[in-house]
Amino acid sequence: MDASSTPAAQPGPVTLAAALEREHRRIDGGIEAYIADGGGERTDLLRGAMEGLRRHIYLEEEFLFPPLREAGMMMPVMVMLREHGALWNAMDALDALLAEGAAPASIVDSCRELLGLLDAHNSKEEPIIYTRADDVLNAEASDGLRDFLTSGTTPEGWVSTTAR
């Protein structure tokens, strides 16, 4: 049998950790692309990344964190919630800069600050929180989170529980 007739290996199911980390990379990538553009006309890149981050924070706070808290991970979840508030407030500040037509250099500086917050947050969340997701969430909670990852949207007016 030659290589062209060998069946392709079928990948296993993607873990929740991998799916959530993929969202982190997509969000970071949108902000990085805006910075690489020099804060120019591509505000859609930044706005899209911030919309994705708000959605991501929602899914964690509503779908992921409650079962993890119930499983005894109260302190790590509390740290993540506090950091979500800081991220949310940083996005609100960026929204204000965009709305007032601030200088691109100022917006880029704020983007770099947001990326720093994200780096510090993700470097804890991925190894501590995400590694437990597949073990702790029951089938119903896991399916709900996966469904939201596929097609869910943040409810209008929802704000991170620790923002402001």
pLDDT level of residue 53 (50, 70, 90 thresholds): very high
pLDDT tens readout for residues 76-127? 999 999 999 999 999 999 999 999 999 999 999 999 999 999 999 999 999 9
**DSSP string of 23-71?**
HHHHHHHHHHHHHHTTS-S-HHHHHHHHHHHHHHHHHIIIIIHHHHHHT
What's the CATH number where 115 sits? Answer: 1.20.120.520
The length of the chain in residues reads 164
Model confidence, pTM? 0.90
Expressed as residue numbers, the domain containing 46 is 14-149
Query: What pLDDT sits at residue 12?
Result: 53
Whole-number Å distance between alpha carbons of 84 and 164: 11
pLDDT at 1 (0 to 100): 40
Structural domain count, the chain: 1
In a domain? residue 137: yes
